[in-house]
Amino acid sequence: MHSAAAKAQSFLLSAKSLMTDELSIRVERSFKNIAPESWSKLAGASKTGSVLPYNPFVSHAFLSSLEESGSATDKTGWLGNHLLLETDDGELLGAVIGYLKSHSQGEYVFDHGWADAFERAGGRYYPKLQCSIPFTPATGPRLLVAEGQDRSVLQPALAESLKEVTRQLGASSAHITFLPEDEASIFEGNGYLHRTDQQFHFINKGYADHDAFLETLASRKRKALKKERRAALEHGISIDWLTGSDLTENIWDQFFAFYMDTGSRKWGRPYLTRKFYSLIGERMPEDVLLVMAKREGRYIAGAINFIGGETLYGRHWGCIEDHPFLHFEVCYHQAIDFALSKGLKRVEAGAQGEHKLARGYLPVITHSAHYIGHQGLRRAVADYLKHEREQVEEMSEILTEHSPFRKGERQDI
């Protein structure tokens, strides 16, 4: 990664205007060099934004915590290369979060097969430019534009400039993952390949509480979920919601033990460091919800969620005791309870998991965009993606038909 890092540094120092005499593109390596107050003017990155609902993952607090904690750095294969659109006097008008990568880990949109095929054919797939939130399979804005600016002009300009940045960095490709459908259309209009996948989200249709939601399910499904929730809390288990000032260092120590235990078995090496949790607890405590399960006076399991303007984002969970159905209770049922209590419109419960369907989480199409410089690889990937999109759409329709809702209960995503 050292040669790629050197190239990124030289590009940062010699960047020339890719826009006009008044606007230019600069590539910044570190969030330490981006003022929080400047970043907060980007739509979706702060709670005061009016164009987009707040997305905690594109906030300066979250992104800088990933970097400063050692979770997403050059050493872990995530070298910051953030595209900034600025005026001549340095005012930030737009941005694309980007990382020059030497691997494809921690992304949740898998391109290992593309890399293997290209390198077997004599190509060099890495480094590549990954435009996403590290270790976070949650949809959010990727073409960030400051409040009050013309998004219809600046977003296509950012998409086009990203291709030039990719070439100047010497990267094989650029991958923009978990972006909204409208942004996917912008990238596609600028020559990027469009990829789809599937997640499961809970949609709040204005339910007063969890019981009101359960009433929309088929009788057999409703009874099964009630039984499941009772069983999860047997053996004297209780649930706490912790947020804000509840998030003490002692609590983070306990949750980190859960994360390390489950993460080590699932991934081999968990991505996030202990310091990351201290930093988000300090910088964005009101945006964090820990759902913690307690038995005999100590916490035995927990799940971390992030609270957006309209959405609760479930991320990961861990435990030090195994109990039937406790994972479903802590990660899915409690998330619905919290979202309904706060009037949030949806719960995004992370990647994969068809087991979520029976618990009221419906299939939702997710989107990514891909720029590939090598024409031969581009043609092969384009053909693959055409068939993959058809399969994703077909599977989504099949799963929707098997949702637990009563017939006639329309569930618009």
Dump pLDDT digits (tens) for 334-378. Answer: 999 999 999 999 999 988 788 999 999 999 999 999 999 999 999
Distance CA 365, CA 347 (A): 15
The region of weakest confidence among 87-91, 182-186, 201-205 is 87-91
Question: Phi, psi at residue 218, to the nearest 5°?
Answer: -60, 145
Q: Answer whether residue 265 shows pLDDT above 90.
A: no
Asked if 370 contacts 175 with a C-beta cutoff of 8 angstroms, the reply is yes
| pTM recorded for the entire structure | 0.93
Q: What is the pLDDT of residues 311-341, one digit of tens each?
A: 999 999 999 999 999 999 999 999 999 999 9
Parallel/antiparallel/unpaired status of strands 346-351 and 362-372: unpaired
**Radius of gyration from C-alpha coordinates of the chain:** 22
Query: What values do phi and psi take at 356, rounded to 5?
Result: -70, -25
Cα separation values, 308 from 209, 335, 341, Å: 19, 13, 14
Q: Both tokens of residue 152?
A: 């219809």
User: Helices 60-68 and 274-283: crossing angle, nearest 10°?
Assistant: 150
Cα distance between residue 307 and residue 181, in whole Å: 21
Sign of torsion, CA 204 205 206 211? negative
pLDDT digits (tens, 9 = 90+) for 153-199: 999 999 999 999 999 999 999 999 999 999 999 999 999 999 999 99
Give 332: exposed, middle or buried? Use CB within 10 Å, 0-12, 13-18, 19+: buried
Which of 7-11, 60-64, 265-269 tops mean pLDDT?
60-64
Per-residue pLDDT band for 51 (boundaries 50, 70, 90) equals confident
The label of the residue with tokens 């190509």 reads 123
pLDDT of residue 408: 64
User: What percent of the chain has a predicted confidence (pLDDT) above 90?
Assistant: 87
Q: What is the pLDDT of residue 251?
A: 98
pLDDT exceeds 90 at position 9? no
Are 96 and 162 spatial neighbours (Cβ–Cβ below 8 Å)? Answer: yes
Model pLDDT, residue 411 = 55
pLDDT band of residue 268 (cuts 50, 70, 90) is: low
Q: What's the mean pLDDT in 140-165?
A: 96
Per-residue pLDDT, 10: 36
pLDDT value of residue 261: 85
Q: Euclidean distance between the first and final Cα of the chain, in Å? A: 41
pLDDT at 40: 97
Q: Are 143 and 186 in contact (CB under 8 A)?
A: yes
Poorest-confidence range of 3-12, 32-41, 48-57, 291-300?
3-12
Give residue 266's pLDDT: 62
Between residues 406 and 366, the one the model is more confident about: 366
Q: Which residue has the higher pLDDT, 316 or 15?
A: 316
Position with higher pLDDT, 140 vs 402:
140
Q: Which of 384, 327, 291, 277 is nearest to 62 (CA)?
A: 277
Beta bridge partners of 174: 129, 371
Q: Is the pLDDT reported for residue 292 higher than 80?
A: yes
Q: What is the pLDDT of residue 232?
A: 98
Looking at residue 118, its amino acid is: F
Q: Are 396 and 363 in contact (CB under 8 A)?
A: yes
| Residue carrying the six token digits 């600069």 | 26
Residue by residue, DSSP assigns 6-53 as: HHHHHHHHH---SS-SSEEEEEES-GGGS-HHHHTTBTTSSTT-SSS-
Q: Kindly tell me if the per-residue pLDDT of 4 is higher than 50.
A: no
pLDDT for position 270:
84
CA distance 113 to 331: 31
Domains of the chain: 10-200+365-400 (3.40.630.30), 205-344 (3.40.630.30)
Sheet with strand 238-242: strands edge to edge: 78-80, 99-101, 128-131, 173-179, 362-372, 193-203, 346-351, 311-319, 298-307, 288-295, 238-242
Amino acid at 286: E
Q: Residues 405-411: what's their mean pLDDT? A: 70
Which position has the token pair 């802590």?
A: 330
Residue 265, C-beta contacts closer than 8 angstroms, at least 6 positions apart: none
In the β-sheet with 92-96, what is the strand arrangement from edge to edge?
23-28, 82-87, 92-96, 144-145
Angle at which helix 249-267 crosses helix 274-283, to 10 degrees, equals 140
Is-contact 197 133, C-beta < 8 A? no
- Residue 1 clears pLDDT 70, i.e. is over it: no
Q: Are strands 92-96 and 82-87 parallel, antiparallel or unpaired?
A: antiparallel
DSSP 142: S
Give me the pLDDT at residue 412, please. Answer: 55
> 């960095």: which residue's tokens?
169
Determine the distance from the C-alpha atom of residue 8 to the mean position of all C-alpha atoms in its chain, rounded to a whole number.
25
What is the rounded CA–CA span in Å between residue 62 and residue 276?
9
106-119 pLDDT, tens digit per residue, is 999 999 999 999 99
Q: Is the pLDDT of residue 289 over 80?
A: yes
Instruction: Identify the pLDDT of residue 20.
Output: 57
